[in-house]
Amino acid sequence: MSATLGNTEEALQTMCGINSTKARRITSDIDKEMAFVSLLPESVERFPWAGHLGLPMVEQVAATIERAKTSLVFTNTRSQCELWYQGLLSVRPEWAGEMALHHGSLDRDSRKFVEDAVRDRKLKCVVCTASLDLGVDFAPVEQVLQLGSAKGIARLMQRAGRSGHQPGALSTVVCVPTHAFEIVEFAAARKALEQEKIESRIPLPKPLDVLSQHLVTLAVGGGFRREDMLAEIRSAYSYRNLTDLEFDWVLNFVTEGGRALGAYPEYRKVQQYEGHYIVESDSVKQRHRMSIGTITSDDSMHVVFMSGERVGSVEESFIARLRTGDRFVFAGRCLELVRTRDMKAYVRLATSKNGVVPRWMGGRMPLSSELSEAVREELGLASNGIYESEEMRLVEPLLRLQETWSRIPDEKSLLVEHMQSREGYHLFVYPFEGRLVHEGLAALLAYRMSRLLPATFSISINDYGFELVSNINIPVEMLSEHHLFNPENLAKDILRSMNASEMARRRFREIARVAGLVFSGYPGKSKTSRQVQVSSGLLFDVFSEYDPENLLLHQAQREVLEQQLEESRLRNAMKRLSKSNLIAVELQRPSPMAMPLMVESWRGKVSSETIAERVARMQLGLTKKPSKPGKSKSSKVS
Amino acid sequence: MNMQIKISGHVEIELEGEKLVLLPQRAIYWQERKMLMVADVHLGKAATFRAQNIAIPAGTTEKDLQTLSQLVVQTGAEHLVFLGDLVHNKRGLTDRICSLILAWREHHDRLNIILVRGNHDKKIPAIAELMRMEIVEEPLSMPPFALKHHPDEDTSGYVLCGHTHPAVRLHGAGQKSLRLPCFAFGNRVGILPAFGSFTGCAEIETTEGERIFVLAGDTVVEVH
């Protein structure tokens, strides 16, 4: 199995089935040596307080790559990967033939080419995403660089393990911060790593979409009988608690179309003959084979050269915003859109070097529970003036500034900052629980407060906390006086507070595909299946109205709560927060912790360049003030 | 003569000197001619899916026919024009759907119905008999209007049509936004929202001088 898993016992049961008596866990006593280094900027004062690209570090990163024969440079998103590839080329143009990029949207052939080239020691460095996390083992890789926080201990270990991939060899990972606070995450990650606090991976509880696909697959391949099948399914860990009712619903869904009363005569997917379930129709068989699998991708468009050579794929919505002749950067090259036809974007190489970089959907990973806790511990130490590691000593000036203008929260307290600006009344809350929990918590607080006061809120979040901006002044005492962090009624309030049905709607997309409700068509024949093309959003609406008891809908709702909002983690966080001391600080100006949240809220409103300028300007204003208190005033007097 | 429309949430507009009523049930009523117009009904669409073994629940066609009945009764229309794509696909014309259509037609047996042929209505001649209606090729000239399915300009008049299933996205405070189906009246072409409840919609870009009316629940609201 894997060294980067916190719950190996559960994983064992998941792999071998719950009834397995023969399964054994073998742990080797070889200690994998791992060097964990941070590549730190010279001073934290001139390093950005917010951001996620980290390009100011490009020269230092290039120098680090130079020192090793072969490096993998991990980024957290595909856009970041493209931008860094360009960034490194601009400071080391001579690397053009020795550097490659690798992410999940590139054409399979070109990815394979890159993988082989690494094995054959032809490349100096590959800029990549999670696409190289697993499955690809490269003996020649000497070092791994991680741009930005890996957001989890297991992921960091996994990536580190891509280098020195032989028994006894040293794995080296160099962590590169993209903003100042991330340096705290590095310090925290190092400690958590030493204490072996590794994240668990929890198997999904009885996903019915997967079950329904599986039953059709079995019916295509020779058929099954109900009793045997139910017993077999229940021996799988995820389905160990599957009820008869649920199983029969799925069985009915694949045979009759899923309605309790009255079958649809025109619907014939799986048929039953004397207790034996099979698929007869060849077209059903063929179509099902095309759709087997649970990895779904967003509606993507193939990007191809006029010659027909495939480059990769980008999201349809990105191409839709481009006009013929517009340029975009993809697969490390600047491409010009020639035309789009049949779900293909035809491109040619552009003469110019500048273009927009596509953004792919797929949210950013939240800070894991283990790493969040480690960050809180690190800050707890800092609040007592203890700065142990090199990383913490580097960020010390920033944290001191935070302490001067506001406070550094320790593990037992919850820091709440408030401030008034032209935009309204700001409330900054820092639970340090990762962005998903903050998303839920922020919406919940806003909802609970709006029941007490006639206020409207806008929300922004990051991994450390969230910001609520309201049109009226919200007294901070309200948070504790009205027990707003009380986990009671959590599920009910959260569903009311967030656009939960919109979230379930998005979630349903994946479920609908896996369950065979959306057929993406035969490869290369985008037009033939037009008559049965439908958006999953519309499907969701139709099911909600005409078949509200459909269990696939319930699955979507449950998954929103459990995975998207991390309900159990949210509940634990609220229990912790309702017991912690609330420290309220009125800010004269945004604190170092508040700034990134304010930036987050601008992101949706102005173009990225103006954000960068605004951030630089504000930061400049910020750093001047504390170092020279009162000076400007005295000069005025004289 | 100014007849009162009994349907709440409608908006009256003047187009080419004629009074048109935009109804929240995604239809236009032309009072002067007692003519109701709807586009893109896509009858039997869910059944088409089921016939291809995709389990879409039933009920959408019933609902659409019911809504159409209410509109006919409440406006007192004598003519009904389908601006194309009345039927989704011939596979969707199952026995059940056919009997629903027949019963509906019987209920409104005095109504004069015309279908301006849309892309989905090709190869489905059976529908003319079921609906007891005339099928015409576009444009159907009704001065000052040219009734069509496809939104191309026409020399014979201001075009009223469907086909694109138009919608616009409205942006609220913060990053919230809402996508709503709409009527879109341009210089020479006006597009109706899709009538069928199992039809999607496509966002359009609004142009200068275009009037956009969104369907916000049971009310028609002008937004542009």
Percent of chain B past pLDDT 70, that is, above it, reads 95
Taking the CA of residue B122 and the nearest CA in chain A, the distance in Å comes to 13
Question: Which amino acid, residue A461?
Answer: I
pLDDT, position A568: 87
Residues 133-172 of B with CB under 8 A from A: none
* pLDDT band, residue A385 (cuts 50/70/90): very high
Contact A535 B50 (CB under 8 A): no
* pLDDT band, residue B176 (cuts 50/70/90): low
Report the pLDDT averaged over residues A537-565.
87
Residue A620 pLDDT greater than 80, yes or no:
no
Taking the CA of residue B82 and the nearest CA in chain A, the distance in Å comes to 20
Strands (E), A344-450: 344-349, 413-421, 424-430
Report the pLDDT averaged over residues B99-120.
93
Contact B58 A535 (CB under 8 A): no
pLDDT, position A6: 84
Percent of chain B past pLDDT 90, that is, above it, reads 63
Question: Which residues of chain A neighbour B50 with C-beta distances below 8 Å?
Answer: 257, 264, 266-267
Q: Please name which of A604, A468, A425 lies closest in space to residue B174, comparing C-alpha atoms.
A: A604
Question: Which residues of chain B neighbour A267 with C-beta distances below 8 Å?
Answer: 50-51, 53, 55
Question: Which residues of chain B neighbour A534 with C-beta distances below 8 Å?
Answer: 49, 198, 200
Contact A542 B198 (CB under 8 A): yes
pLDDT, position B177: 62
CB B65 within 8 Å of CB B101: yes
pLDDT, position A413: 92
Q: In the structure encoding, which two tokens stand for residue A84, read together?
A: 């860094």
Interface test with A, best of B40, B42, B45, B56 (most A CBs within 10 A): B56
H helices of B7-59, where? 45-51
What ipTM was predicted for this assembly? Answer: 0.83
Taking the CA of residue B50 and the nearest CA in chain A, the distance in Å comes to 5
Cβ neighbourhood burial of A607 (10 Å; 0-12, 13-18, 19+): exposed
* SS3 call for A468: strand
Answer positive or negative: Cα dihedral of B185, B190, B196, B198.
negative
Taking the CA of residue A326 and the nearest CA in chain B, the distance in Å comes to 18
pLDDT in tens, A6-22: 888 888 888 888 877 77
Least confident of A491-495, A552-556, B64-68: A491-495
pLDDT in tens, A74-127: 998 888 899 999 999 999 999 998 999 999 889 989 999 999 998 888 999 999
Least confident of A481-485, A486-490, A525-529, B74-78: A525-529
Residue B179 CB coordination number (10 Å): 14
Query: Which residues touch B39 (CB under 8 Å, ≥6 apart)?
Result: B82, B83, B84, B85, B149, B161, B162, B163, B191, B192, B193, B194, B195
* CA A306/CA A389 separation, integer angstroms: 54
Q: How many CB pairs under 8 A join A and B?
A: 75
Phi, psi of A249 (to 5 degrees): -65, -45
pLDDT in tens, A139-183: 788 899 999 999 999 889 888 888 887 777 888 899 999 988 899
- Residue whose entry in the numeric block shows the structure tokens 């319930």: A554
Which residue of chain A is at minimal alpha-carbon distance from B50?
Answer: A267
pLDDT, position B182: 93
* CA B104/CA B97 separation, integer angstroms: 11
By the CB < 8 Å criterion, does B111 face chain A? no
Question: Which residues of chain B neighbour A264 with C-beta distances below 8 Å?
Answer: 47, 50, 55, 58
Question: Which residues of chain A neighbour B56 with C-beta distances below 8 Å?
Answer: 517, 539, 542
Strand partners, A305: A347
In order of A106, A145, A159, A183, A191, the CA distances from A36 in angstroms are 30, 10, 11, 13, 11
H helices of A55-200, where? 58-66, 78-91, 108-119, 153-160, 182-194
Percent of chain A past pLDDT 70, that is, above it, reads 88
Question: Which residues of chain B neighbour A287 with C-beta distances below 8 Å?
Answer: 53
pLDDT, position A602: 66
Encode burial over A345-359: b for 16+ CB neighbours within 10 A, e otherwise: bbbeebeeeebeebe
pLDDT in tens, A485-509: 998 888 888 877 776 777 788 788 8
Interface test with A, best of B40, B43, B49 (most A CBs within 10 A): B49
* CA A142/CA A162 separation, integer angstroms: 9
Residues 81-110 of B with CB under 8 A from A: 88-89, 91, 94-96
Interface test with B, best of A289, A531, A553 (most B CBs within 10 A): A531
Q: Which of A267, A545, A604 sits opposite B55 (nearest CB)?
A: A267
pLDDT, position A529: 52
Question: Which residues of chain A neighbour B123 with C-beta distances below 8 Å?
Answer: none
Contact A546 B50 (CB under 8 A): no
Report the pLDDT averaged over residues A379-400.
93
Contact A543 B57 (CB under 8 A): yes
Phi, psi of A417 (to 5 degrees): -110, 145
Contact A543 B55 (CB under 8 A): no
Contact B57 A258 (CB under 8 A): yes
CB B132 within 8 Å of CB B99: no
CB A596 within 8 Å of CB A179: yes
Q: Please tell me which residue, B20 or B128, carries the higher pLDDT value.
A: B20
H helices of B76-153, where? 95-107, 126-130
CB B195 within 8 Å of CB B142: no
Report the pLDDT averaged over residues B167-191.
79
Taking the CA of residue B59 and the nearest CA in chain A, the distance in Å comes to 6
Question: Which residues of chain A neighbour B197 with C-beta distances below 8 Å?
Answer: 542
Q: What's the pTM value of the predicted model, to 2 decimals?
A: 0.77
Phi, psi of A344 (to 5 degrees): -125, 140
CB A36 within 8 Å of CB A193: yes
Question: Which amino acid, residue B126?
Answer: A
Strand partners, B189: B159
pLDDT in tens, A245-267: 999 999 999 998 876 555 677 78
Residue B173 pLDDT greater than 50, yes or no:
no
Residue A622 pLDDT greater than 50, yes or no:
no
pLDDT, position A613: 55
Which residue of chain B is at minimal alpha-carbon distance from A601?
Answer: B174
* CA B97/CA B45 separation, integer angstroms: 10
* pLDDT band, residue B155 (cuts 50/70/90): very high
Mean pLDDT over each residue of chain A, to the nearest integer = 84
By the CB < 8 Å criterion, does B202 face chain A? no
Angle at A431 between CA A425 and CA A436, to 5 degrees: 95
Q: Sort strands A224-225 and A271-273 into parallel, antiparallel or unpaired.
A: unpaired
Residue A605 pLDDT greater than 50, yes or no:
no
H helices of A316-433, where? 316-320, 369-383, 390-405
Q: Please name which of B42, B14, B26 lies closest in space to residue B145, comparing C-alpha atoms.
A: B14
CB A432 within 8 Å of CB A464: yes
By the CB < 8 Å criterion, does B57 face chain A? yes
* CA A161/CA A166 separation, integer angstroms: 9
pLDDT, position B144: 95
Q: Which of A532, A535, A539 sits opposite B48 (nearest CB)?
A: A532
Residues 442-461 of A with CB under 8 A from B: 456, 458-459
CA of residue A267 relative to chain centroid, distance: 38
- Residue whose entry in the numeric block shows the structure tokens 């204003």: A621
Contact A531 B94 (CB under 8 A): no
Contact B58 A259 (CB under 8 A): yes
pLDDT in tens, A335-360: 999 988 877 889 999 887 777 777 77
Which residue of chain B is at minimal alpha-carbon distance from A519?
Answer: B54
By the CB < 8 Å criterion, does B8 face chain A? no
CA atoms within 13 A on the CB side of A412: 2
Contact A257 B50 (CB under 8 A): yes
Percent of chain A past pLDDT 90, that is, above it, reads 34
* pLDDT band, residue A298 (cuts 50/70/90): low
Question: Which residues of chain A neighbour B174 with C-beta distances below 8 Å?
Answer: 458-459, 604
**DSSP per-residue letters across A179-243:** STTHHHHHHHHHHHHHTT-----PPPS--HHHHHHHHHHHHHTT-EEHHHHHHHHHTSGGGTT--
Question: Which amino acid, residue A588?
Answer: Q
pLDDT in tens, B21-52: 999 999 999 999 999 999 999 999 998 888 88
CB A76 within 8 Å of CB A155: no
Residue A417 pLDDT greater than 50, yes or no:
yes
Taking the CA of residue B34 and the nearest CA in chain A, the distance in Å comes to 32
pLDDT, position A619: 46
Contact B50 A267 (CB under 8 A): yes
> 3-class secondary structure for A31-45?
CCCEEEEECCCCCCC
pLDDT in tens, B52-63: 888 888 889 999
* pLDDT band, residue A594 (cuts 50/70/90): very high
Question: Which amino acid, residue A562?
Answer: E
Contact A546 B57 (CB under 8 A): yes
Encode burial over A82-116: b for 16+ CB neighbours within 10 A, e otherwise: bbbbbbbbeebeebeeebbbbbbbbbeebbeebbe
Question: Which residues of chain A neighbour B175 with C-beta distances below 8 Å?
Answer: 604
Q: In the structure encoding, which two tokens stand for residue A89, read together?
A: 């080329």
Contact B53 A546 (CB under 8 A): no
Taking the CA of residue A148 and the nearest CA in chain B, the distance in Å comes to 26
* pLDDT band, residue A479 (cuts 50/70/90): confident
CB B7 within 8 Å of CB B24: yes
Which residue of chain A is at minimal alpha-carbon distance from B63?
Answer: A546
pLDDT, position A384: 94
